[in-house]
Amino acid sequence: MKVPAGNEPVDEMVRVWAERVPGGNIDAKRLTLKLLLAGVAINRENESWCRQHFDLGRGEIAVLMALRRAPHESMRPTDLFVSLSLSSAGMTKQLDALEKRGLIQRENHPGHRGGFLVRITPAGRAIADDAHRGVDSAGPVAQALSALPRGQQREMEATLDVLLEASYRGAQARKSRAVKTSKRSLF
């Protein structure tokens, strides 16, 4: 089977790396590469599906879906860009585009003087709901995942939970080190 990166089979890529840089866990490298490539494929499929169905990018749909899940269907812009791992400037650009299309609205924050909330509109809610329902058929990878027997889906989910938990612990450790470093005096 061919993969997007250079059209080389995954096993061949791993074999060449093992030859040129010996050591390490080849099986883990193979799995990591396959996960990365599957993630790239899923992102590409989702982007294409979102553009085709809504003329919106996957990032804009992610904003609508985050708002749809939020209490009272609204969030502060800061909470949005943190939860979606975007820069403040990137979030502002997406919010401007969504507001221009009438999918979100900005309103004064009742508990924060000078701040505002981003609220999803009924039109934005409809797109978020349609996107949620349609994501299972967004492309060949999503369709293949949906077609897996439920037991296999559960096994895969359990494995991914282990990986995501490790990622979360690593992020927490990095955050803790960053806080300790920032508290050091310069003098």
Per-residue pLDDT of the chain (187 residues; tens, 9 = 90+): 444 555 567 888 888 888 998 888 888 888 888 899 888 888 888 899 999 999 999 899 999 999 999 999 999 988 898 888 888 888 889 999 999 999 999 998 777 776 889 999 999 999 999 999 887 677 888 888 889 999 999 999 999 999 999 988 888 888 777 666 555 544 3
Per the structure, the count of domains in the chain is 1
| Domain annotation covers residue 88 | yes
**CATH number of the domain that 84 lies in?**
1.10.10.10
Determine the 3-state secondary structure of 116 from DSSP. Answer: strand
| Domain annotation covers residue 97 | yes
For 123-169, how does the pLDDT look when each residue is reduced to its tens digit (9 = 90+)?
A: 999 999 999 988 767 788 888 888 999 999 999 999 999 999 998 88
Q: Which domain holds residue 141?
A: 10-152
Name residue, tokens 């709901």.
129
With beta carbons less than 8 A apart as the criterion, state whether 32 and 24 touch: no
Q: What is the rounded distance in angstroms from the CA atom of residue 123 to the CA atom of residue 55? A: 14
| Domain annotation covers residue 169 | no
| Domain annotation covers residue 14 | yes
Counting Cβ atoms within 10 Å, is residue 62 exposed (0-12), middle (13-18) or buried (19+)? buried
Name residue, tokens 């401007």.
96
Closest CA to 141 of 30, 38, 49, 31: 38
| Domain annotation covers residue 165 | no
Mention every residue, 6+ apart, whose C-beta is less than 8 A from residue 121: 102, 103, 104, 105
| Domain annotation covers residue 166 | no
| Domain annotation covers residue 80 | yes
